[in-house]
Amino acid sequence: MVSLFYFMTTKEKIAPKLLNIKSWDVEDRPREKLLLKGKENLSNSELIAILIGSGNKELSAVDLSKHILQSSDNNLDELGRLDIKSLMEFKGIGEAKALSIIAALELGRRRQGQASSKQTKITSSRDAAIIFQAQLADLPHEEMWLLLLNRGNKVISKTKISQGGISGTVADIKLIMKTILDNRASAVILCHNHPSGNLKASQADIKLTRQINEACTIMDIQLLDHIIVAKTGYLSLSDEGILK
């Protein structure tokens, strides 16, 4: 009698049925591993696998997560720049899973921003840049923000003034001054991002900075700096001598 094994298709011989995560040892399953060993012992792909819950017919949740990470050079900052449509291009990632990934990365970004804000006294351009770096560096569009300070250079609040496109945003000087006065701030730092990654102040950036500096001087308010942030770092117009 001819064995049934003889009639297995070539595909079945070469690519046996995918081993499901439930077939793994308990300690190797992402959720169980998290419970047993703690979150710090999970890789990025395992954490993402918990978010998406399942993979596709060819890949387990962990392998699919590795594939997604590899497409972003295993860089979470790069992954955080992907939108829903881009994530849904991966087989096995629907809208709900894409939203879960984006929401988790956004929470991480906000947590980083809040942690940076705990140092409420601004003593250098770097202090201000740290506050805005996590919030603005990955955005695909420009935003203009104000960091409002009291006389001791401690942060009162930060406020978004405007939002634009990839190449620029419009800032209303009257609105900026109103916001400063309404918050009774004694000093202010401007900040906006360059999605292109270019850390060079444009003529429009310099002109706006000088106009606001003139308005602040009249109102006895200090414009301490104008920070431009990008993914690669930041530029301080004060450190560059433009405010002098």
Structure tokens at 11: 């595909």
Helix 44-52 vs helix 95-117: crossing angle, to nearest 10: 130
Q: Specify the pLDDT at position 134.
A: 80
pLDDT the model gives residue 6:
42
Q: Tell me the C-alpha to C-alpha distance, in Å, between residue 40 and each of 21, 34, 37, 47, 167.
A: 20, 8, 8, 10, 39
> 3-class DSSP state for residue 202?
coil
Spatial distance between the Cα atoms of 169 and 145, rounded to a whole number of angstroms: 11
Q: What is the DSSP string of the chain?
A: ---GGGG--HHHHHSPPP--GGGS-GGGSHHHHHHHH-GGGS-HHHHHHHHH----SSS-HHHHHHHHHHHTTT-HHHHTT--HHHHTTSTT--HHHHHHHHHHHHHHHHHHHHHHHT--B--SHHHHHHHHHHHHTT-SS-EEEEEEE-TT-BEEEEEEEEE--SS-----HHHHHHHHHHTT-SEEEEEEE-TT------HHHHHHHHHHHHHHHHTT-EEEEEEEEETTEEEETTTTTTT-
Q: Are 44 and 76 in contact (CB under 8 A)?
A: yes
pTM: 0.57
| pLDDT attached to residue 93 | 94
Q: Which two tokens stand for residue 137?
A: 């560096």
Per-residue pLDDT 10s for the chain (244 aa) are: 444 444 444 444 444 445 566 666 555 688 888 888 888 888 999 999 999 999 998 999 999 999 999 998 888 878 888 899 999 999 999 999 999 999 998 888 777 666 555 447 899 999 999 889 888 988 889 999 999 999 999 999 899 999 887 666 778 899 999 999 999 999 999 999 999 889 999 999 999 999 999 999 999 999 999 999 998 899 999 999 988 6
Task: Return the domain boundaries, the chain.
Answer: 13-112, 119-236
In 3D space, the residue among 65, 67, 60 whose CA is nearest the CA of residue 19 turns out to be 60
User: 119-236: which CATH architecture?
Assistant: 3-Layer(aba) Sandwich (3.40)
